[in-house]
Amino acid sequence: MAGLKVIVGLGNPGREYALTRHNVGWWLLDELAAGWGMGRFRPDKTAATASGRVEPWAVRLVKPITYMNRSGSALLPYKRMNAIDVTKDLLVIVDDVALEPGKIRFRPSGTPGGHNGLKSVEQALGTKDYPRLRIGVGAKPPQWDLADWVLSPMPKRDQELVRERFDDCIAGIKVWMEEGIEPAMNRFNG
C-alpha cells in the first residue's frame, strides 16, 4: 500500500481574502477536493483539511488558517510524526508574482523568493527541499506595494486565466504523485 501524500495550498482565511492573488493555492485545493470527492474542509487549530484516497495513496489537502506568514505551523504535526518524506510526499501550492496569470511551474525545491508563506514553510520544515507548484498571478505594477498587490482581488480575466490551467495543475499533481516532481515539471511547466 502506498503512503500519505500531503498537498498544501497557501492562502489567508476570511471572506475578504477569498478572491485575492494570495489565495490561488486555496482555489486549486477546492478543485482537488471536489474532483476527488473529499467533501468539505474541516478546520482544526492551524489548518482546514480534507482527506480521502487517490488510489493507491491516502491524500490530505491542507489549507493553513494561520495567515500567510505563519503557514508553516500547519506542517509541524507531519514533521513531528515523521509522517511524510517532504522531498517526495509534500507539495506546496503557492501564488507567484514572477509568473504571468495562468503560467504554472512545478519545482523540486527553491528559495522563498520574498514569499512570506514559503519562508514560514521553510522555517517549519528546516529545509527548502520540498516540491512546490507555483501559480502565476502577475507582476505588481510599479506604483503598487507588493503586500497590497497580492492581497487585492484578481481581475476577472486573470482569475479565468488561472482557473483555465487547473486541469493541467491537477494532471501535473497526479504525475507528481505517481512518478515524481521531475516528470511533472517536464510535462506541465509553462
Q: Which three cell numbers stand for residue 161?
A: 486565466
CA 184, CA 190: separation in Å to the nearest integer? 11
Please state, in angstroms and rounded to a whole number, the distance separating the CA atoms of residues 155 and 33.
24
- For cell 492573488, name the residue: 21
Angle of helix 166-179 versus helix 24-35 axis, rounded to 10: 70
Catalytic one of 5, 21, 22, 60: 22
Alpha helices in the chain (DSSP H): 24-35, 76-80, 116-125, 146-150, 156-164, 166-179, 181-188
**Catalytic (active site) residue 22:** yes
Report the sign of the C-alpha dihedral through residues 145, 21, 171, 8, in that order.
positive
Looking at the annotation, which residues are catalytic? Answer: 22
